[in-house]
Chains A and B, each alone.
Chain A
Amino acid sequence: MTALIQVKDVTKKYGGLIANNAISFDVAENEILSVIGPNGAGKSTLFKMIASFTPTTSGEVTYQGERISNLKPHIVARKGVVRTFQETTIFKSMTVRESVVVAQHLRAKASLAGYFWGSKTAKDDVTAFEKYADELLDFLGMSEISNEQASNLPQGSLRALGIAIGLATDPKVLLLDEPFAGMNHDETMNMVNLVRSVRDERGVTVMLVEHDMPAVMNISDRIVVLNFGEKIAEGTPSEIQNNEKVIEAYLGSVDDEIGM
């Protein structure tokens, strides 16, 4: 397995609180890797450090051998590692299509001045962005809501829009923080299939944080388990389901929740 992303000894301290303690693991290309753990275990913090939204206290994250931690989010995004948010973070007063168009700006060939004067390259860019937005929304099954204002969308569509915005940047690695939160069973299963096709058809490596155990077990190639900022286990879904430490520390007696 060649590691695309390497998390090396990453620690994050908030004052006296150790949110992540010397976490290390690798993510392979084209893998779907989930990070699970109880609330406050440090999952979101880990994602924020990978995408450089917050600096590490020590340790580093590399992508294709290059350090991507302790930079700026837009620089990491330009390298192809893009994070979506746990909260439904969207552009409220844009339509779905506008959001997906604006999110493609990294692909722009024309300069900002070119857009101002309306150069040929700029016009071609805009045409290409709009075309790709329609393709992407079609791929995500969102064509029908493409002209809806984002603030009017139901929870499930908001999550999908968050993913659409992330995908529009043409990422190599997508970090999804609780993409299935607030969804019912059917919506979740739709989304699981969608995330899988993002990986299968677009070659995007996916890391996700999720609480929905059946969905996690279904979708993940491998799982990393955090508890109180420590990594307590790593392995395939079946390994995790049978891991003593995980069952004891995290799953406790609620075996049925992990879908066994």
Chain B
Amino acid sequence: MLNFSKTQIFGVAAFLAVVFVGVPLFIAATGRSDFYFTLTSVALLAIASAGVWLTFYIGRINIGQGAFALVGAYVSAILVVKAGWSFWISLPAAGLFAALIAVLIGLPILRLRGVYFAMITLVLTQVATLTALALPITNGAKGITNIPLPGAISIFGIPLVPDFSTLENSRMAFYFTATILMVITYAALYRLVNSRLGHLCRSMQQNEELASSIGVNITYIRILIFAISSFFGGLGGAMFGSISQSVYPATFVVKDSVDFMLNCFLGGLGYVFGPMLGTLVLYFGWDLLFEFGKYQMLIYATLLILIIRFLPNGLLSVRFGKGGGK
């Protein structure tokens, strides 16, 4: 099952080298340490986008990942600030809580397909924002601020991760944390897609009726996938809150949910690594267009439409042709 081709191994090795060696060297040489922050954001958004991509894999357009990122950010912030948990434990807890919410919401809404499901998920982000404004525990519009930086991890007295607040360069530490998390996320996604669960998802994406006639419990798989997707959203959101050391109701808004979805379209729905590339391109694309001032949105939207029109299978389709990269 783990029989990768030479090109695949080379590609992954090159990617890891760039991320873990190339980028730090480049930043050290140019002194552009602000790049760490930018690339960390890309990595975290790519984690959330991976979740959206997975819901595409069962044939559902998910425009609600911002809601789960927001849930994750708040859960982690509350656990760290109010309950005094270590950030490192709050991180998986945030993912699991987002997954739990996804199960509860998914039970009724995953029956819907196509544009109906998309519309409902679009509303979710707004609901999450309004909930954050209304609940006492989330502190309303003031949000949660002054979140302490992640603390140290040590096992049997051996320090594994230093306390981030003692570091001179916490940006670099966040960069490594976020990219490691991203690599794990995409490795897990790759495995999932290429294991039986992935095959069952594909069967459902192509024909839910036929899938159920061969005995696939489509309700269960849908919920499971939506929960995993939201777990990724919660994880990305929690980490994001920790880096900015604050969470507000508007930390993730509808535009973020739309971006998560666009990242997937742009990179390519047929490729596991599509959303990662899509996130990178979209994030930098938006920034590069900053110079155009008030025309930024117009140009951005036009370019997106052109790309989706002429590359319906995403940017990666240029490189691999149909069905590659999986």
Please report A residues at the B interface, Cβ cutoff 8 Å.
Answer: 51, 53, 72-74, 77-78, 82-85, 89-94, 98, 101-103, 105-106, 108, 110, 112, 115-118, 122-123, 125-126, 165-166, 168-169
15 contacts between A and B (CB under 8 A): A51-B213, A53-B212, A72-B219, A73-B213, A90-B207, A94-B203, A102-B203, A102-B214, A106-B214, A108-B196, A112-B196, A115-B195, A118-B191, A122-B196, A165-B214
A115 to B201, CA, bound (A): 14
CB closest residue in chain A, given B224: A112
In the bound complex, residues from chain B placing their C-beta under 8 Å from that of A83 are 213
User: Given A112-B196, A116-B192, A122-B196 in contact, is the A72-B202 Cβ separation under 8 Å?
Assistant: no
Q: Are B207 and A91 in contact (CB under 8 A)?
A: yes
Give chain B residues whose Cβ lies under 8 Å from the Cβ of A98. 199
Q: Does B29 contact A (CB under 8 A)?
A: no
* Residues A89 and B212 in contact, CB atoms below 8 Å apart: no
B206 close to A91 (CB less than 8 A): yes
* Docked CA distance A122–B199 (Å): 14
Across the A-B interface, give the 4 residue pairs with the lowest CB-CB distance, nearest first.
A77-B215, A115-B195, A115-B196, A73-B212
Is B296 on the interface with A (CB-CB < 8 A)? no
A116 in contact with B214 (CB, 8 Å)? no
**Considering the chains assembled together, what is the distance between the CA atoms of A84 and B215 in angstroms?**
12
> Which A residues are CB-close (under 8 A) to B212?
53, 72-74, 77
Report A161 CB to chain B, min CB distance, Å. 11
Given contacts A112-B195, A126-B1, contact A74 B203 (CB under 8 A): no
- Complex CA–CA separation, A79 to B218 (angstroms): 16
Bound together, the chains give a CA A110 to CA B2 distance in angstroms of 17
Q: Which B residues form the contact surface with A (CB < 8 A)?
A: 1-2, 188, 191-192, 195-197, 199-200, 202-203, 206-207, 209-210, 212-219
The answer to whether A89 touches B209, judged by C-beta atoms less than 8 angstroms apart, is yes
Inter-chain contact B2/A169, CB cutoff 8 Å:
no
* Whole-angstrom CA separation of A72 from B206 in the bound complex: 19
Q: Are B214 and A168 in contact (CB under 8 A)?
A: yes
Which single member of A51, A85, A102, A116 contacts B200 (CB below 8 Å)?
A102
Q: Which among A89, A125, A166 is the interface contact of B207 at CB below 8 angstroms?
A: A89
CB pair A123 B206 closer than 8 Å = no
Could you say which of B191, B196, B202, B215 contacts A91, with CB atoms under 8 Å apart? B202
Task: Considering the complex, give the chain B residue whose CB is closest to the CB of A91.
Answer: B206
Q: How far is the CA of A146 from the CA of B7 in the complex (A)?
A: 27
Which single residue of chain A is at the shortest CB-CB distance from B200?
Answer: A105
Q: In the complex, A259→B196 CA distance in Å?
A: 47
With both chains docked as a complex, state the minimum distance between the C-beta of A89 and any C-beta of chain B, in angstroms.
5
A74-B218, A92-B207, A102-B199 known, 17 other contacts, Cβ within 8 Å: A72-B212, A72-B217, A73-B213, A74-B217, A77-B214, A77-B215, A85-B213, A89-B207, A91-B203, A94-B203, A102-B214, A103-B214, A108-B196, A115-B197, A118-B191, A169-B214, A169-B215
| Complex CA distance for A85 and B211, rounded to whole angstroms | 12
- B196 contacts across to A, CB distance below 8 A: 105, 108, 110, 112, 115, 122, 125
Closest Cβ–Cβ distance, residue A170 to chain B (whole Å): 10
In the complex, chain B residues whose CB is within 8 Å of the CB of A116:
188, 191-192, 195, 197
> B residues within 8 A CB of A126?
1
Give the distance to chain A from B117, nearest Cβ to Cβ, in Å: 20
CA distance A222 to B209 in the complex (A): 29
Provide the residues of chain A in CB contact with B200, threshold 8 Å.
Answer: 102, 105
Name the CB-closest residue of B to A93: B206
Query: Which chain A residues border B213 with CB–CB below 8 Å?
Result: 51, 53, 73-74, 77, 82-85, 166
Q: Report A-chain residues with C-beta under 8 Å of the C-beta of B206.
A: 91-94
Q: A99's closest neighbor in chain B, by CB?
A: B203
Residues of A within 8 A of B197 (CB): 112, 115-116
Q: Which of B209, B216, B217, B218 contacts A53 (CB 8 A)?
A: B209
CA distance A92 to B204 in the complex (A): 11
The closest CB in chain A to the CB of B322 belongs to A93
Q: Kindly state the separation between the CA atoms of A98 and B200 in the bound complex, as whole angstroms.
A: 11
Q: Which residues of A contact B202 (CB under 8 A)?
A: 91, 93-94, 102
Residue of B203, B206, B215, B217 most packed against chain A (CB within 10 A): B215
Nearest residue, chain A, Cβ from B216: A74
Interface centre among B2, B207, B212, B219 (most CB of A within 10 A): B212
Q: Give CA–CA (A166, B213) in the complex, Å.
A: 8
Q: How close is B202's CB to chain A, nearest CB, in angstroms?
A: 7
Report the bound CA distance from A51 to B213 in whole Å. Answer: 8
Residues of A within 8 A of B216 (CB): 74, 105
With the chains together, A101 CA to B202 CA distance in Å? Answer: 12
**What residues of B have a CB within 8 angstroms of the CB of A91 in the complex?**
202-203, 206-207, 210
Which chain A residues lie closer than 8 Å to B195 at the CB level?
112, 115-116, 118, 122
